[in-house]
């Protein structure tokens, strides 16, 4: 997966976005430019495992949101195949200004819900030396629990459309790259609560 992502200039030059969630996001590239990644998320065994964790039979929502990539700013110079990225000045993670959440100084992303019912978040970086980085989940009674992020090669499944959550600050480590694939129920008889408000600003939207 890393080889497909970090050696293809086309992915980084034509499928790159930026938002408050990550300085560098790679989207809508898998089907055309990353066949291994694309087929891995379409594989029947992959879907069986994720469906088992989700509790219902699920499939990827749309090809656009297969293997969405979040790359932290300090990771870009030594991961991007583009010369202009490789030559940029390195900035330490602790020097980057992060959105602050009132009463939550360790949060880098405010409380929110995802666009899709389920997401599978896969860690592509070695987390050795990293501290923090948990996902905070708000329960029905208003209490908050923290879930430790996955190690490299591992993944977590989150029902992010319905659970208020936020990402906590991560310090340390030389890079941080995560892959997010969105899922919905396979059956059309199950209500689809997809809302595109969050993904529309980081998508190519034709203007007609």
Q: What is this structure's pTM?
A: 0.82
Query: Residue 133 belongs to a domain with what CATH number?
Result: 2.60.120
pLDDT digits (tens, 9 = 90+) for 55-79: 999 999 999 999 999 887 677 877 8
In a domain, 158, yes or no: yes
In a domain, 206, yes or no: no
Question: Which among 174, 53, 56, 171 is positioned nearest to 121, based on CA atoms?
Answer: 53
Q: Which of the two residues, 150 and 143, has the higher pLDDT score?
A: 143
In angstroms, rounded to a whole number, what is the distance separating the alpha carbons of residues 22 and 57? Answer: 30
* Boundaries of domain holding 174: 2-201
In a domain, 208, yes or no: no
Band of pLDDT at residue 201, cut at 50, 70 and 90:
confident
Q: Could you give the 3-state DSSP secondary structure of residue 157?
A: strand
Domains in the chain, number: 1
In angstroms, rounded to a whole number, what is the distance separating the alpha carbons of residues 8 and 32? Answer: 11
In a domain, 189, yes or no: yes
pLDDT digits (tens, 9 = 90+) for 104-145: 446 656 788 889 999 998 988 887 777 877 788 999 899 999
In a domain, 207, yes or no: no
């Amino acid at each position: 997966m890393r080889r497909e992502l970090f050696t293809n200039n086309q992915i980084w030059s034509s499928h790159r976005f930026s938002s408050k969630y990550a300085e560098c996001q790679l989207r809508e590239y898998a089907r055309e430019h990353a066949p291994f990644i694309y087929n891995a998320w379409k594989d029947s065994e992959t879907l069986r495992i994720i469906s088992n964790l989700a509790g219902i039979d699920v499939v990827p929502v749309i090809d656009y949101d297969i293997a969405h990539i979040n790359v932290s700013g300090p990771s870009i110079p030594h991961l991007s195949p583009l010369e202009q990225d490789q030559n940029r000045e390195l900035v330490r993670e602790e020097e980057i200004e992060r959105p602050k959440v009132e009463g939550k100084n360790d949060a880098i992303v405010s409380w929110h819900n995802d666009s899709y019912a389920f997401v599978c978040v896969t860690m592509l970086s070695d987390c050795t030396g990293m501290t923090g980085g948990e996902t905070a989940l708000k329960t029905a009674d208003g209490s908050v629990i923290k879930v430790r992020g996955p190690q490299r090669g591992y993944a977590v499944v989150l029902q992010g459309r319905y659970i208020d959550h936020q990402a906590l600050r991560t310090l340390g480590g030389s890079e941080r790259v995560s892959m997010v694939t969105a899922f919905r129920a396979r059956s059309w008889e199950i209500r689809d609560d997809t809302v595109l408000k969050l993904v529309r600003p980081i998508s190519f939207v034709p203007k007609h």
